[in-house]
């Protein structure tokens, strides 16, 4: 049987859809299925599917793109009526009862083992009852949700990624805003999950608490990327790569042991209220060049509320900026507005913070709309306010009477600030949001021009791949 993992999103930043590739590699290694990874970033997925003629297609999606994924699946079903389609990812894991009838199966949580179990059951015409975390409609059309057991560590912790499945385009040099230059870059995980409980984040509902992968295994993966694929920059996709100082020191020791210290640069995510001098010194030794924070807000009251932690504060955010400046890191981060209980005076504090980031040579800061995603407290609040509902399929109703669908749940959709309090004047909110966003946009242009100023040869790389960067630019403007 033929199994295709299909990435339907055109990803102009060329960030690897790790989950799909891991599942593809796991199925390839542990079965006799003919497996392919088909990627809309570099390929015409319809043309490639026509050539490959898979029996089963695996997809993944976030809530924002659920409608698009449904449309793609409908297209496949109309063309290949007998094809089976599996959907996984954050959306269906958080809201399994939203499984659209066009999908034959939904996989909740970590997908490597569950997908393989499902494929083996389909191939052997076996019962689906014992496959945990599986969602499907029975012959009578009734939705069946098999209980989800704790996620198995399995391949994420034990095996290497099968990079041979990837399009070679992933191993071309690309512009890295994190470092300001062009390098072959790859994103990897060294841990999954998060110990914190922010009210807006889907991480815990999908991954659960934090689990660390073996450092030696991560080093082997970096060695393969460096020697076989000429990768010179690694992005750690971990929610909090820096959470464990002892592990960071072990990572440094192992990197030095295999002779890769200072031969690879790194970028990672961190948390301002868990960031200090000692951590900076370790990260500097490892050759971390850029760090991204979730600053979220410059209002202490809002910050403590949405991050659900008493130590979060504007002061800690600013200290993180200053530490980044001191140790030469490129510091970036996100702000979010339109929060429950947030007032205009809270929002205006973000503008001063943006100026502070610029003054202290921060790399970039951006601002988004607080968006309720399934599996989060913000989703529950939006439901309580009657803004959204678990049961809506293609459409649901806002109190205003306007129609919304899954694709409206976008962090840049300023017209669907579903969590904004009713007593906050929407026009004033939009005016301040647009002002903050304009201030943030200046960082993007500065990064571009500084990269050429620091190394004029970079202009040739931009020209060489101008269609890609023009598309990226227009998407940025559109947002």
Does position 392 have pLDDT exceeding 70, yes or no?
Answer: no
**Integer angstrom CA distances of residue 79 from 82, 209, 420, 448:** 9, 41, 43, 43
Region(s) of the chain under CATH 3.40.50.280? 2-145
410/37 Cα distance (integer angstroms): 27
Q: Provide the 3-class DSSP secondary structure of residue 174.
A: strand
Does position 95 have pLDDT exceeding 70, yes or no?
Answer: yes
Nearest CA to 473 out of 13, 7, 5 is that of 13
Q: Integer distance in angstroms from the first to the last C-alpha of the chain?
A: 41
Region(s) of the chain under CATH 3.80.30.20? 172-478
- Range with lowest mean pLDDT among 64-68, 91-95, 147-151: 147-151
Cβ(160)–Cβ(221) below 8 Å = yes
| H or E element at residue 51 | helix 45-52
pLDDT score of 394: 47
Report pLDDT digits (tens) over 278-294: 999 999 999 999 999 99
Best mean pLDDT range from 161-175, 209-223, 300-314: 300-314
pLDDT score of 468: 63
pLDDT score of 391: 62
CB neighbour list of residue 15: distance below 8 Å, 6 or more residues apart: 187, 235
Average pLDDT over residues 128-146: 93
CB neighbour list of residue 312: distance below 8 Å, 6 or more residues apart: 272, 273, 296, 300, 303, 304
Is domain 172-478 given the CATH code 3.40.30.10 in the classification?
no
Report pLDDT digits (tens) over 188-198: 988 888 888 99
Is domain 2-145 given the CATH code 3.20.20.10 in the classification?
no
Query: Can you read off the two tokens belonging to residue 472?
Result: 């990226």
pLDDT band at residue 329 under the 50/70/90 scheme:
very high
pLDDT score of 400: 45
pLDDT score of 115: 95
pLDDT band at residue 154 under the 50/70/90 scheme:
very low
Nearest CA to 34 out of 59, 60, 56 is that of 56
- Averaged pLDDT of the chain: 89
pLDDT score of 352: 97
Cβ atoms within 10 A of the Cβ of 245, count? 15
Q: What is the 3-state secondary structure (H, E, C) of 193-245?
A: CCCCCCCCCCHHHHHCCCEECCHHHHHHHHHHHHHHHCCCEEEECCCCCCCCH
Higher-pLDDT residue of 141, 232: 232
């Amino acid at each position: 049987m033929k199994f295709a993992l299909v990435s339907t999103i055109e990803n102009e930043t060329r960030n690897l859809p790790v989950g799909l590739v891991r599942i593809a590699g796991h199925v390839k290694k542990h079965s006799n299925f003919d497996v392919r990874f088909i990627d809309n970033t570099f390929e015409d997925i319809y043309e490639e599917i026509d050539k490959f003629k898979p029996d089963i297609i695996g997809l993944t999606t976030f809530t924002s793109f659920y409608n698009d994924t449904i449309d793609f699946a409908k297209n496949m079903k109309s063309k290949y009526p007998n094809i089976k389609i599996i959907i996984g990812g954050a959306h269906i894991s958080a809201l399994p009862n939203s499984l659209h009838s066009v999908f034959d199966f939904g996989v909740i949580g970590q997908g490597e083992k569950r997908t393989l179990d499902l494929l083996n059951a389909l191939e052997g015409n076996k019962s689906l009852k014992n496959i945990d975390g599986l969602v499907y409609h029975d012959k009578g059309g009734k939705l069946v949700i098999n209980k989800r057991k704790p996620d198995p560590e399995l391949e994420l912790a034990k095996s290497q990624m099968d990079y041979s499945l990837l399009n070679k385009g992933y191993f071309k040099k690309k512009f890295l805003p994190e470092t300001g230059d062009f390098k072959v870059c790859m994103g990897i995980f060294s841990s999954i999950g998060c110990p914190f409980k922010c009210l807006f984040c889907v991480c815990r509902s999908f991954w659960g608490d934090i689990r660390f992968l073996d450092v030696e295994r991560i080093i082997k993966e970096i060695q393969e990327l460096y020697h076989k694929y000429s990768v010179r920059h690694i992005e750690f996709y971990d929610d909090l790569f820096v959470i464990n100082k002892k592990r960071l020191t072990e990572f440094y020791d192992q990197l030095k042991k295999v002779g890769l210290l200072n031969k690879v640069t790194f970028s990672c995510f961190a948390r301002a209220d868990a960031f200090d001098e000692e951590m900076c010194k370790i990260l500097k030794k490892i050759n971390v060049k850029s760090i991204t924070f979730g600053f979220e807000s410059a209002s202490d009251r809002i910050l403590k509320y949405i991050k659900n932690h008493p130590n979060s504060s504007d002061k800690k955010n600013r200290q993180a900026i200053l530490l980044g400046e001191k140790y030469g890191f490129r510091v970036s981060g996100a702000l979010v507005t339109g929060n429950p209980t947030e007032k205009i005076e809270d929002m205006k504090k973000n503008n001063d913070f943006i100026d502070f980031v610029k003054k202290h040579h921060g790399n970039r800061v951006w601002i988004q709309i607080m968006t309720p995603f399934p599996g989060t407290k913000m989703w529950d609040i939006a439901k309580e306010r009657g803004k959204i509902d678990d049961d809506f399929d293609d459409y649901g109703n806002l109190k205003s009477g306007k129609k919304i669908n899954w694709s409206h749940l976008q962090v840049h959709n300023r017209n669907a600030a579903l969590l904004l309090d009713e007593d906050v004047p929407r026009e004033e909110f939009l005016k301040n949001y647009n002002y903050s966003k304009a201030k943030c946009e200046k960082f993007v242009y500065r990064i571009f021009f500084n990269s050429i100023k620091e190394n004029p040869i970079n202009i040739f790389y931009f020209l060489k791949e101008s269609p890609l960067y023009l598309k990226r630019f227009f998407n940025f403007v559109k947002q």
